Structure 1
Amino acid sequence: MTYTALLFLALAMSTDAFAAAIAKGAALRKPTFPQALRIGLLFGCIETITPVIGWALGSLAADAIRQWDHWIAFVLLLGLGGRMIWLSFGEDEEEEAAGSQKLVVLVLTAVATSIDAMAVGVGLAFVDVSIVHAALAIGVSTTVMVTIGVLLGQRLGAVVGRNAERVGGVVLILVGTTILIEHLSA
């Protein structure tokens, strides 16, 4: 696999996380660059690990991962998006009290958007490519894209105002639905 192909693969793997980051940035009040970078690093680390897991599973679980990855991502993103919409109708105090829950939601979102990278990792087990280089490229690309996405989402949130979390929830649901449709129509 050429470095150009690897770059395109890394960018493709980070698009779902980028869309989710825009949604998260829209839901945050005023994320700073360090906050956006922390979210980017969280997504990037998870997105680095999942293709390695997929690669390690190789052909043993290839069919199972391909058969279910889109459904798992869809259900997780549907649930997370629905939760964001539900919470958007609640009081601000509820959101402030749920600090540890916010981390869990971020991790679940990162996992949901990286399941396709695990399936790609399975495919990479059968290609002449360094999994270390591929995983690092995907992780770095995701870190950068998510950091930018959170900061762009902040600007969207300023325009949308109180409805930002609802918009973010809808975006997560749309990302999950897109994943499902792409896999079912392939």
Structure 2
Amino acid sequence: MPKGLQKTRKKINKKGGDIHALHENSRDSMRLRRASNRDEKLKRVGTAKRKDNQPLIVRAAYFQEAVRKNDGKELTMEQITPLIEEFVHQHDEEFSEVKSQRRPGRPSSTREDVLRIKIAKDEKEWENGFYLPDLTIPDNAIYLDRWDGTWSYLPTLKWVTIAKNGTVKPSSFPPKGQT
């Protein structure tokens, strides 16, 4: 939570006088406005950043569950491939349900469009290289099992991209131009 406005108010109060009796264009009122705008901007930027980070947190949580089902041990490529397929096609059922509820001749709903875009994006990523934590390394599997769901812990994991044809490439976190 930004504290710039509170600190600015405190400094102005220490100077003496009532903070509510400031002139509209005085230096102190301008300082208060700048501090308030700065706090609002920090909140907006933080909210946008958390929204951008959410898909990777959801992805890591999905693969964390897979590692936990395997008792915190590493997975083989034969085990990882169906997990990726399941993750990529997780919205297919909802998409077909939304599509079937639409009356013939009607335009698609916003939810249907969003699901179509998500499915296409995930399938394209699976073709080119799906970004996920490296589950074939024992230490990485242990770290992912211990993960507490925060963004700040994710860079400690090793990440890879796995293409549909089976090629595995090491990657960095956060991904550049992916997901």
TM-score (norm 1): 0.31
Bigger fraction of residues in strand: 2
Bigger fraction of residues in helix: 1
Higher relative contact order (CA 8 A, sep 6+): 1
